[in-house]
Amino acid sequence: MFYNLIKKSEFDKVKSHGGDWAKRMKLFADMCRYNTLVAVKKAGSGHLGSSLSAMDIVTYLYLNELNVLEVGLNSPDRDIYFSSKGHDVPGLYSLFYALGILPEEKLLMLRRLHGLDGHPEVRQPGIEASTGSLGMGISKAKGMAWAKTYNRNKGNVYVLTGDGEFQEGQIWESLQATAHQKVNNVTAIMDHNKYQTDMLVADVNNIEDVVTKVSAFGWYVVRINGHDFNELKKTFDTLKKVSDTPKMIIADTIKGKGVSFMEKPLTETFQGRTLYKWHSGAPDDESYTKGLNELSESINKLAQELGIDKIEIPENKTEGKVATKLDKEFVTDAYGEALVELAKTNKKFVVLDGDLSADCKLRNFEKTYPDRFIENGIAEQDMVSMAGGLARMGLIPIVNTFASFLAARANEQIYNNAGEKTKIIYTCHFAGMIPAGPGKSHQSVRDISLFGALPNVTIIQPCNAQETKWATDYCINVAEENCVLRLVIGPSPERIQLPEDYKFKVGVGAQLTEGNDAILFGYGPVMLHEALVAADYLKKIRFGLKVVNMPWLNKIDLNWLKDIVKDQKRIFVLEDHSAIGGLGDRLLNALKEINELDGKEFTNFGLREYPECGTPLEVLEYHQLDGKSLAKRISGVKDIETAEAVKQKYTADAPQ
Amino acid sequence: MFYNLIKKSEFDKVKSHGGDWAKRMKLFADMCRYNTLVAVKKAGSGHLGSSLSAMDIVTYLYLNELNVLEVGLNSPDRDIYFSSKGHDVPGLYSLFYALGILPEEKLLMLRRLHGLDGHPEVRQPGIEASTGSLGMGISKAKGMAWAKTYNRNKGNVYVLTGDGEFQEGQIWESLQATAHQKVNNVTAIMDHNKYQTDMLVADVNNIEDVVTKVSAFGWYVVRINGHDFNELKKTFDTLKKVSDTPKMIIADTIKGKGVSFMEKPLTETFQGRTLYKWHSGAPDDESYTKGLNELSESINKLAQELGIDKIEIPENKTEGKVATKLDKEFVTDAYGEALVELAKTNKKFVVLDGDLSADCKLRNFEKTYPDRFIENGIAEQDMVSMAGGLARMGLIPIVNTFASFLAARANEQIYNNAGEKTKIIYTCHFAGMIPAGPGKSHQSVRDISLFGALPNVTIIQPCNAQETKWATDYCINVAEENCVLRLVIGPSPERIQLPEDYKFKVGVGAQLTEGNDAILFGYGPVMLHEALVAADYLKKIRFGLKVVNMPWLNKIDLNWLKDIVKDQKRIFVLEDHSAIGGLGDRLLNALKEINELDGKEFTNFGLREYPECGTPLEVLEYHQLDGKSLAKRISGVKDIETAEAVKQKYTADAPQ
């Protein structure tokens, strides 16, 4: 299996060639599409649909409107472009490569450590804004444009948005304020490809008629075909003459543009609603090959029509393996099953979703109990306050979306609801730092701290399918206050084995291994797996590590704690979270309260920096949170993996 | 000075009397206005402008549309009304009193402990939703209406909004989603009184043409005169026939309606913009008397026209004292001065405001540096992301609004900005639990925890004017990462005296008193005052309390800490914040790290419940955080204030 890109020299050839301008643009864009497909396939994940739909727009902009290549990426007088939705960044990277902004090896390091982030990050030259959570872009563009005026710098500001993104309230805040503040040097372009995640925007939470809406907010709005280069050119030329309002182009595009089968929805539907498959994730081998072939054909044809000798299209090969379903446990699966099961006996709970139903494994519930399912679109604040209203009427709302978006975006709404002393369940999906490919907009390592200071909330993170079902049941049927259910979204690296006699009880964890040299508290399948790997390593040097699963992140049974730490001199906490405001802080307080800290070591392995982007192992190793690193940090033995180390007797006062 | 209300019996008289219906409504509303004025004057604060502008609408609703008085406040089939903006709640309370929902003594306990909350709270019978932070109401109403359908309950849902509130993005999220989800049993009413805080909405961040905007979002919209009872009736009758969309009434009203001088803006303007005086705060004695007289006249006139014998209007007297300017220190004053001063030498910083310029003491900066001041309206998310854009262009944005709104509402935007590794200063005004009159939507006791897990932020709370200037200078000119400046908004109970040799240095606090029996770490003028009062009490029983001002809430110089705690056996932390995620957690970690915990007591006096509403002393006492309670909690001596206690020798092991 090998991955090869169409070389930069081929792009230069197209750029410098004469002939029909629009055709050359199309050729250039299709070549970028080809490279995008290769990069995403190699990464194993990434957003193809948006990358392809926005490709013509960004190609047009960088080759025709923006001065960045002339004045330099860091010139204060440069034109600025960035994508607010950020999904389309693989496409932008491939364009950056074609323009010489990115070296070849970087493009083949998409979503890898020290490679390219899964969502835009400003540390990458050419990226003007870090994005990945929706709705912030126009506000940021406004700040940039305002600063340009204040600093007396030249340059225009262009921001690309999604269409689903127009469900975020901040978009409307920014539209209103930009017009009022007369920051007219902003041009927003909507990549209106009609699908958000895997369904039609029109089905999820319709934004139409968006031209009327945006116009009502005082913007100059035009709606065009976002794949027609001549229309793009004409439009941008016209907009240059509009200087008394900010400007918005609604560009009708096709998600997956350029690859026939990615342009089409699935024939299968969900409850009468259209489904789309290519929002995120890498294509299977067959689709990949087919996609490359289609693009090659188009490239060859266009080159021929333009009279370009030949575009060198490299060979790309797959392993030809048939995709097999991953035989791993997902705690989210167990959660989805539990909801369906529990709904039979408890009629009071209803489920809310913020456009992530499939990822959050809610589709089965949605299908089984359509009258108890509320799809709210990408409008977390509205979803959370709606849940507040539902709860005030005696229902138990279960709010679902990614932890980053739920805990942070809707934080004040959560506080407001909690103050009403109703019960709401906030299910924080994609909690923790793994998977690390999407980057830090998606990795949630602050959510415990964001809920922590609410006086009436219980925060739980289960470690396996069984515990997830117990936790879901507890939240719905037992808890009397608000609950946060923190769930890892990816596959569990192993199925964590709980003791046979373990009972899921408030504040009480479960001992997973024996050991008296140190105790390590952890939670969730990802980090407990690393803890168990560490314990295995340590066993080799006769170091006994007691690993404890502690699913109760802010409720600790002091008697249980006293008992479990009583013979331990060295206490460690392994967070899937920042070291600030997670389980560690609560454990430290509890240990002090029960007087079990004196003469003991206490170390919190939580993050003290931003989570890195990369594969799980790359990122865990980077943060020294993989099992091997943990074993070294706990024992102080640096060459723990070598035979020498195994022989070496552990000394309790080894440097750490 | 005494406060008397128009009795409920007088309202009953009007209700049961025949004659012109609209005139009776007007009379009833004016009588409520009278009582509102009395209640707010007694409370010493409250929102008069909105209470008066919305009075006719709520009077109309409760007397004509809502079934709550018939079916009961807790009936699942009741109609629901609540105010999303919440400012108007003194007016609603006075209506509740007139309708027998509230007893007389409660209405005279506005903003007092165990009385009536400064913003709506559901613990008060008849209040359907806790509000006070803007923009959540339509979402909540949607949840309630959805639940009514699901539960097969009867009743309509009405929600009142402000106009300035339409700058909040959540409003547009909720408008879009309510229409899409076809939750048509929602009627929103905008109390369109044209002013937000002290300026015209049209000047701050124009929402017009709001009819066009809301219509574009798929709502049925009408615009009417909100003081014309006949028009109100006609409109609600018409809207009953509209069942295929949610409905919105834009009710043009006059802020301060019913009291001539409160209906008018000030003759004075600010940079050509109209100023309004009566948004919040109690009237001075003269205005109060004049207002009551005007309302009495109107009441008498209407009663006469209706042929009602006489409405008993009680006597109300003021002390006739001339209002004097409070001779207290405000840290916000020092902050405002510092900004103006520092702007002379640092051209890079710009100041952003979220419609609280006067409260945040920014007016002088705004006037002196209009080109460096950005008024963003009530759109915190947009403001914060705009700051992100400004910072990316090399400026230092200083973002201002109340801590509750800034830290919680824009939390994800703050995270996104911080990830770009630029420098932004977030000034969190109204930090902590005092003043406690506005209630928990405004009291900010979670903000430290909401910023705490960001890896690149320094959180500072200065204790007096001088330290505020140092801190502001530090943030602007020295700090290399993001800063949070946490400021108390009210007057400092005393001017905290810092040691003469004190140097403002990262991680280093200042010892304010001598003492070796215990050490107490505190911050900010409010809680340090209580700490000093506690130290004074303790001195009487020969208990030496070392009070330390620790303005660095998440940065601790370990050498300094080791030195200051070395002879101390008992360590206390006095938070103006929740016990979770504040200074206490950081100190505990630091003390463990430097091995200064063994054999020592550690107690965190932070809040473990929601902050109460009331006067400062009432609330501090309620939470046992006033100086006297603290002295008792620290020493274990219960009768510390009596002569006996003074004589009694303190014993170190006294129960705590």
Residue with tokens 């946490």: B486
Contacts of A177 in chain B (CB under 8 A): 167, 205, 376-377, 379, 382, 386
Say whether pLDDT at B553 is over 70: yes
Residues sharing a CB contact under 8 Å with residue B12, sequence separation 6 or more, in sequence order:
none
Q: Residue B1 pLDDT > 90, yes or no?
A: no
Same domain, B178 and B97: yes
Q: How far is CA A153 from its chain centroid? A: 34
Closest by CA to A391, choosing from A410, A418, A354, is: A418
Question: Least CB-CB distance to B446: which of A146, A377, A415?
Answer: A415
- Cβ atoms within 10 Å of B309's Cβ, excluding its own: 9
Distance between CA atoms of A515 and A538, rounded to whole angstroms?
Answer: 10
Integer-rounded Cα radius of gyration of chain A: 26
- Are A366 and A444 in contact, with CB atoms under 8 Å apart? no
Mutate to test the interface with A, among B385, B484, B588 (most CBs of A within 10 A): B385
CB contact under 8 A, B180 and A411: no
* Stretch among A315-329, A470-484, B572-586 having the lowest mean pLDDT: A315-329
Q: Describe the crossing of helices B8-16 and B21-43 by its angle, rounded to 10 degrees.
A: 170
Tell me if B392 and A602 make a contact (CB, 8 A cut-off).
no
Rounded mean pLDDT of B256-283? 95
pLDDT band of A650, cuts 50, 70, 90 = very low
| Calpha distance B374→B392 (Å, rounded) | 17
Examine the pLDDT at A29 and tell me if it is beyond 60.
yes
Give per-residue pLDDT as tens, A378-433. Answer: 999 999 999 999 999 999 999 999 999 999 999 999 999 999 999 999 999 999 99
What's the pTM value of the predicted model, to 2 decimals? Answer: 0.97
SS3 of residue A608 by DSSP: coil
Q: Kindly report, residue by residue over A513-556, the tens digit of the pLDDT.
A: 999 999 999 999 999 999 999 999 999 999 999 999 999 999 99
Q: Which of A394, A397, A581 sits opposite B581 (nearest CB)?
A: A581
pLDDT tens column, B406-428: 999 999 999 999 999 999 999 99
Both ends of chain A: CA-CA distance in Å? Answer: 42
A437-473: b or e for each residue (b if 16 or more CB lie within 10 Å)?
A: bbbbbbbbbbbbbbbbbbbebbbbbbbbbbbbbbbbb
Q: Which domain holds residue B563?
A: 513-653
Q: Is pLDDT above 60 for B312? A: yes
Residue among A172, A440, A454 minimizing CB distance to B169:
A172
Of A356, A346, A427, the C-alpha closest to A387 is A427
Write down the pLDDT at residue B319.
Answer: 75
Instruction: List, for residues A334-375, the tens digit of each pLDDT value.
Output: 999 999 999 999 999 999 999 999 999 999 999 999 999 999
pLDDT tier for residue A1 given thresholds of 50, 70 and 90: confident
- Shared-domain flag, residues A335 and A267: no
Instruction: For an interface test with A, give the residue of B123, B215, B382, B416 to mutate (most A CBs within 10 A).
Output: B382
Mean pLDDT value of segment A239-245: 97
Please compute, for residue B16, the number of CA atoms within 13 A of its CA located in the half-sphere on the CB side: 8
Domain match, B160 and B219 both: yes
Q: Using DSSP, how many helices (H) and how many strands (E) does chain A show? A: 25, 20
pLDDT value at position A121? 98
Is the same domain home to B454 and B518?
Answer: no
Domain endpoint, select from A486, A505, A533: A486
Domain count, chain B: 3
Share of chain A above pLDDT 90, in %: 95
CA distances from B122 to B85, B102, B117, B646 (A): 14, 14, 10, 44
Q: Are residues A470 and A524 in the same domain?
A: no
Check whether A322 has a pLDDT greater than 80: no
- Average pLDDT in chain A: 96
Considering only the beta carbons, identify the residue of A216, A382, A450 that sits closest to B139: A382
Question: Chain B: nearest CA to A130, how far in angstroms?
Answer: 6
| Residue A323: per-residue pLDDT | 62
Can you give B173-197 as a three-state secondary structure string?
A: HHHHHHHHCCCCCEEEEEEECCEEC
Asked if residue A474 and residue A534 are part of one domain, the reply reads no
For B427, residues 6+ apart whose C-beta sits below 8 A from its C-beta are B335, B360, B398, B399, B400, B484, B485, B487
Q: From CA B310, how far away is CA B299, in angstroms rounded?
A: 9
DSSP state of B544: -
The answer to whether the Cβ–Cβ distance between A143 and B599 falls below 8 Å is: no
Same domain, A394 and A444: yes
Residue after which a domain boundary falls, among B486, B503, B521: B486
- Residue A373 in domain: yes
Query: Would you say B136 and B164 are in contact if contact means Cβ atoms under 8 Å apart?
Result: no
CB atoms within 10 A of CB B651: 10
Span of B152-156, B316-320, B356-360 with lowest mean pLDDT:
B316-320
How many other C-beta atoms can be found within 10 angstroms of the C-beta atom of residue A175? 27
**Does B646 fall in a domain?**
yes
CB contact under 8 A, B578 and A453: yes
In a domain, A496, yes or no: no
pLDDT of residue B318: 86
| Residue A31 within any structural domain of the chain | no
| Chain-chain contact of A130 with B180 (C-beta, under 8 angstroms) | no
Same-domain check for residues A468 and A521: no
Q: What is the pLDDT of residue A653?
A: 39
Residues of B in contact with A450 (CB under 8 A): 411, 449-450, 453
What would the pLDDT profile of B64-92 be if each residue is shown by its tens digit? Answer: 999 999 999 999 999 999 999 999 999 99
Measured in angstroms, the CA of B13 and the nearest CA of chain A are apart by 34
Closest CA to A531 of A489, A582, A484, A572: A572
Neighbours of A229 (CB within 10 A): 24
Kindly state the percentage of chain B with pLDDT values over 90. Answer: 95
pLDDT at A639: 84
Question: What confidence score (pLDDT) does residue A27 get?
Answer: 98
Chain A residues in contact with B217 by the CB 8 A cut-off are: 213
Instruction: Report pLDDT for A428.
Output: 98
Q: Tell me the chain B residues in contact with residue A122 when contact means C-beta distances shorter than 8 Å.
A: 392, 420-421
**Whether residue A206 sits in one domain with residue A85:** yes
Pair B335, B254 in one domain = no
| Residues B402 and B527 both lie in one domain | no
What confidence tens digit (pLDDT) does each residue in B362-398 have?
Answer: 999 999 999 999 999 999 999 999 999 999 999 999 9
- Cβ neighbours of B128 in A, within 8 Å: 392
Residues of A in contact with B433 (CB under 8 A): none
Q: Which of A377, A385, A445 sits opposite B136 (nearest CB)?
A: A385
- Assign B656 a pLDDT band (cuts: 50, 70, 90): very low
In angstroms, what CA-CA distances link B571 with B498, B521, B585, B620, B652?
Answer: 21, 8, 13, 21, 13
The pLDDT, as a whole number, for residue A654 is 38
Tell whether B460 and B525 lie within a shared domain.
no
The pLDDT score that the predictor gives to residue B64 is: 97
Does a structural domain hold residue A311? no
Q: Contact A173/B169, CB-based, under 8 Å?
A: yes
Closest-CA residue of chain A to B182: A205
Alpha carbon separation from A34 to A39, A51, A90, A289, A294 (Å, rounded): 9, 11, 11, 11, 9
CA A644 to chain B, closest CA, distance in angstroms equals 32
CB-defined contacts A:B, below 8 A:
359
CATH number at A408 reads: 3.40.50.970
Task: Kindly state whether residue A65 falls inside one of the protein's structural domains.
Answer: yes
Q: What pLDDT, in 10s, does the model give residues B221-263?
A: 999 999 999 999 999 999 999 999 999 999 999 999 999 999 9
pLDDT greater than 50 at residue A72:
yes
Q: Residue B381 and residue A181: Cβ atoms within 8 Å?
A: no
Element (H, E) at B451: helix B447-452
- Given an 8 Å threshold on Cβ–Cβ distance, is B379 in contact with A420? no
Residue A90 CA to residue A82 CA, distance in Å, equals: 13
Q: Return the DSSP state at B478.
A: I
Q: Is the pLDDT of residue A458 over 60?
A: yes
Neighbours of B154 (CB within 10 A): 13
Q: Compute the average pLDDT of residues B109-129.
A: 97
- ipTM strictly over 0.95? yes
Which tens digit of pLDDT belongs to each residue from A17-27? 999 999 999 99
Distance set, CA B491 to CA B111, B279, B526, B549 (Å): 18, 20, 9, 18
- CA B408: distance to chain centroid? 14
The domain boundary, picked from B486, B502, B526, lies at B486
Does the residue B98 lie in any domain? yes
- The token duo for A345 is 């006996």
- Give one DSSP letter per residue of A299-313, joined into a string: HHHHHHHHT-----P
- Does the residue B540 lie in any domain? yes
* Domain CATH number, residue B555: 3.40.50.920
